[in-house]
């Protein structure tokens, strides 16, 4: 189904959410229609944020909002769904549009399998009526489902479209997406990660969700190095810095590096304040800021116009840096390698990744086992 037709069927004029690869057609269409005009379209920090923004829109206008997200964001969305939107609380009706990763019968990455299995059950548990949209769904069927949904929404209840692989399409190239943009004066994320591995040596290295972990895995392969030094946070977006903090606090004799992304930092920014307060002196928190949710299609993030290093400074990180090019990064990495932290390094980077970028060939369980054996082999634990 064309994304334009789906938007017409829904009939709403306010959308908020977190971009998803299954919903790229919808996200591209929304950016072309509304750009980032916050009166009509807000790309949120996380899915719970979306639910609250949608509630505010409904309270102000009385009209039905739409929240879009990947099913991996259901945990973030659950709080406002249960304690704000629910009919037994404020009864605020919302249309959820959910990209279904890990849908049964379709091969997907390990972090999506269980989430995919429980997606329908999750919405059933939350009392949310659903309609599954797949590549064979006729617009008339979706229209009929929406007609039924309007009766449910009128009762202060929420509804959801579960969107399978290839269910939505959009023919135009979105003007608002950063995908494919490569300012020649800035590094790619893969170049940044490669420089970090050059300086970190055998220090523990934690990478954030998406392409960062995939690139680190391939960099190690290309260098003929093992993967035991790395923890690849393939799911749980926004939590890699907290994982790194937990490791750093309990492995104080090791320098611990976290390679984060701007979208991930925004998703759970409170972690920065906690890291600064806990003050692990052996932690380096490096954020690759390319202003985009690149791993799911290149939709812009709010961080493109932010100086994250200033936020880190305000939180109380001991050392704070912002770099723009290869030479600056190389110099700063040498400093933070030896410096007592916590240290924060923001790297203003370009959007872009190799088209032939692969995925880790080891499982998350194999990664965890090798990483834990590496961490504990010299500690006597």
Per-residue pLDDT tens for 260-282? 999 999 999 999 999 999 999 99
Answer whether residue 182 is part of any domain: no
Residue 297 predicted with pLDDT over 90: no
Give the mean pLDDT of the chain. 90
Indicate the number of domains in the chain.
Answer: 2
Same structural domain for residues 222 and 328? yes
Quote the domain boundaries for residue 47.
3-163
Same structural domain for residues 342 and 197? yes
Of 23-32, 129-138, 188-197, 294-303, least confident by mean pLDDT is 294-303
Residues counted in the chain? 381
Q: How many Å apart are CA 231 and CA 189, to the nearest integer?
A: 17
Residues 6 or more apart whose CB falls under 8 angstroms from that of 350 comprise 181, 182, 183, 186, 187, 188, 290
pLDDT for 182 equals 47
Answer whether residue 171 is part of any domain: no
CATH number at residue 249: 3.40.50.970
Answer whether residue 184 is part of any domain: no
Answer whether residue 233 is part of any domain: yes
- Read off the pLDDT of residues 342-360 as tens digits, 9 standing for 90 and up: 999 999 988 877 778 778 7
- Read off the pLDDT of residues 61-84 as tens digits, 9 standing for 90 and up: 999 999 999 998 998 999 999 999
The values of phi and psi at residue 95, to 5°, are -95, 115
pLDDT for 381 equals 47
Same structural domain for residues 193 and 89? no
Residues 6 or more apart whose CB falls under 8 angstroms from that of 300 comprise 36, 43, 176, 177, 178, 291, 292, 293
Q: Are 76 and 61 in contact (CB under 8 A)?
A: no
Q: How many Å apart are CA 16 and CA 67, to the nearest integer?
A: 5
Q: How many Å apart are CA 124 and CA 147, to the nearest integer?
A: 20
Q: What is the pTM of this model?
A: 0.86
Q: How many Å apart are CA 197 and CA 205, to the nearest integer?
A: 8
Answer whether residue 172 is part of any domain: no
Q: Which two tokens stand for residue 192?
A: 């940044």
């Amino acid at each position: 189904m064309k994304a334009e037709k789906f938007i017409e069927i829904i009939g709403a004029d306010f959308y908020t959410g977190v971009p998803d690869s299954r919903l790229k057609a919808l996200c591209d269409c929304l950016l072309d229609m509304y750009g980032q005009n916050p009166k009509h379209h807000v790309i949120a920090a996380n899915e719970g944020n979306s639910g609250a923004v949608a509630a505010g829109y409904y309270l102000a206008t009385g009209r039905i909002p739409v929240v879009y997200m990947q099913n991996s964001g259901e945990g973030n969305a659950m709080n406002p769904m249960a304690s704000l939107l629910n009919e037994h609380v404020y009864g605020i009706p919302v249309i959820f549009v959910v990209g279904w990763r890990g849908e049964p019968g379709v091969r997907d990455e390990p972090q999506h399998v269980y989430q995919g299995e429980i997606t329908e059950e999750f919405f059933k548990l939350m009392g949310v009526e659903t309609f599954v949209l797949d590549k064979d769904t006729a617009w008339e069927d979706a229209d009929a489902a929406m007609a039924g949904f309007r009766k449910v929404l009128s009762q202060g209840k929420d509804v959801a479209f579960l969107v399978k692989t290839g269910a939505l399409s959009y023919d135009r190239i979105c003007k608002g997406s950063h995908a494919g943009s490569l300012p020649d004066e800035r590094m790619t994320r893969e170049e940044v990660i490669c420089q970090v591995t050059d300086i970190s040596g055998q220090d523990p290295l934690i990478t954030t969700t998406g392409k960062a972990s995939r690139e680190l895995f391939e960099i190690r392969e290309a260098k003929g190095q093992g993967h035991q030094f790395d923890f690849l946070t393939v799911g749980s977006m926004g939590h890699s810095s907290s994982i790194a903090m937990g490791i750093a606090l309990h492995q104080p004799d090791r320098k611990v590096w976290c390679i984060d992304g701007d979208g991930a930092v925004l998703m759970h920014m409170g972690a920065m304040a906690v890291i600064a307060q806990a003050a692990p002196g052996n932690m380096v928190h490096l954020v690759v800021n390319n202003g985009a949710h690149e791993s799911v299609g290149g939709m812009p993030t709010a961080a493109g116009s932010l100086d994250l290093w200033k936020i880190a400074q305000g939180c109380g990180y001991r050392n704070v840096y912002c770099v723009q090019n290869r030479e600056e990064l190389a110099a700063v990495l040498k400093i933070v390698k030896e410096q007592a932290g916590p240290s924060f390094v923001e790297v203003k980077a370009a959007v872009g990744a190799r088209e032939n970028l692969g995925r880790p060939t080891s499982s998350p369980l194999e990664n965890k086992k090798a990483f834990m054996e590496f961490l504990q082999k010299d500690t006597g634990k």
